[in-house]
Amino acid sequence: MSQFVNEPLTRIAEGTGIVLLGTTFGMLLGFAWRVLLARYFTQSEYGIFSLAVILLNVFVTISTLGIQEGATRQIAYYRGKNDASKVKGIVLSSVQIALIASIILSLTLFLTSNLISTKIFRTIELSTALKILSIAIPFLALIHILTSVFRGFGKVEPMVYFQALLTNGLFPLFLVPIILLGMPFLNTIYAFLASIVLACLSFVIYTIKKTPLAVSFTREKASTGVNPLGKELLFFSLPLLGVIMLNMIMQWTDTIMLGYLKLPEDVGLYNVALPLARLILLPLASMGFIYVPVISQLFSQNLTEEMKRSYQVLTKWIFSLSFPLFLILFFFPEVSLNFLFGPRYTSASLALRILSVGLIFHTFLGPNGLTLMIMGKTRLLMWVSLITASLNITLNIGLIPLWGITGAALASLISYFAINIFCSAKLYHLSRIHPFTKSYLKPIIASSMVMVVIYAVASHSLLVAWWMLPLFFILSIVIYGLSLLLTKGLDHEDINMLLAIEKRTGIKATLIKRILKRFI
């Protein structure tokens, strides 16, 4: 089995490295424009911008009908069965369906923007922002669909180029002159729209030149309508739309309900804690991008044991990359917020700490939902997500009036625990797949105990300043790394993944490999 495990792990390691690096830069660019908006515009304006972007993403998600996930799985599945004609049909259908649906949703948002702004959020200023951003829906939907197509072929570079870097890079580039010239806030909305449109047009040109298919989209007969495989794609993807929408409810209901129950200032405050905490998910999201096509091919060949071992090794790596950042955000939330967004936002410290716990728990259990989706359990995921989303909404209604942004964070924490426990239990019941091994758990326990002691000493003996955060971050990495070595938390598959990363990056790690081999 080792050979079968090493090959997909190698492919995932190589792809994850590229996605993680690109996504990290993209998120840094994303943080750059968030910091600029938070520092140079009012909390109310930042809250309006956050609400507008969230509603844009809601409409984009609906317009893709779950195809951004379904197309990836179906393309990879039929590639595993060497059925090129079905692969081609899935690709063409996904683009056609998403374009039609996104244009309809764009018109819907434009026509209902006044109603949404006045009746739901009681903020008329939001209406103009929604009208402008409604134009972006087809462009953003097409970016998602083209990304999913290349993802199905195991191609990660287009997502890095256009979704992570170009979109996030263009907006702060447009934002700087707006701030320097003292232009009105509305210009930031136009700048955000322009960044999406330019990124999409660039992606379309790239796709025409680099498409993995033998023929381009433009050579197909326009009169044939949706490819017959479109029906199969829709039946597979529509439950995923439910899953994605319900996950969005979990992710953004806090913000939307804060906008409904509280003020735009509360939305702005919460939306510095939430994106900062979601950095914890960066390794999981990066791995998941290439995990789906690779593991889908294993599933198409009924290699369940190989899937299980890949799941265990990859979960350990994901958590290892996420854990040091969690420790910083959990132990030093106020310093982190003050450094990035200024003293106006330090009151979101408790919310940041709570959100960090929920998201690291999600990372701890690994890609359980993605694996169930690969196994075709889309309807199960839809019902689980529906129950969890209902729980999340109920908790937000009860907790936000009492505790504001802290209540919203608690609602997310409980919801994350509920959905991840159920998905992991169901995954184990169906396939005996789980992440728990001695080599995974022992270093987590050991390093956590050491970091608690260090935090207790530091909090009582030092006035922690922003410049100490990098030192604590490096210290947490060293402590976790030593815990891996001293508890024999490394396996042979870990060394093979290191070799894959070394080969891909060209960076020689001879000394590190010699040290690691002594502890296996």
Contact 19, 501 (CB under 8 A): no
Residue 225: the pLDDT is 46
Convert 187-226 to b/e letters by CB count within 10 Å (16 or more is b). ebbbbbbebbbbbbebbbebbeeebbeeeeeeeeeeeeeb
Dihedral (CA of 475, 479, 480, 485) sign: positive
Q: Angle, nearest 10°, between helix axes 43-64 and 137-152? A: 60
User: pLDDT band for position 201 (50/70/90)?
Assistant: very high
Question: What mean pLDDT value characterizes the chain?
Answer: 79
Name, in order, each residue with C-beta under 8 angstroms of 235's C-beta and a sequence gap of 6 or more.
Answer: none
Residue 208: the pLDDT is 82
**Regarding predicted confidence, which is higher, 324 or 250?**
324
Residue 111: the pLDDT is 92
Task: Calculate what percentage of the chain has a pLDDT beyond 70.
Answer: 81
- pTM for this structure? 0.69
Name, in order, each residue with C-beta under 8 angstroms of 407's C-beta and a sequence gap of 6 or more.
Answer: 395, 396, 398, 399, 400, 401
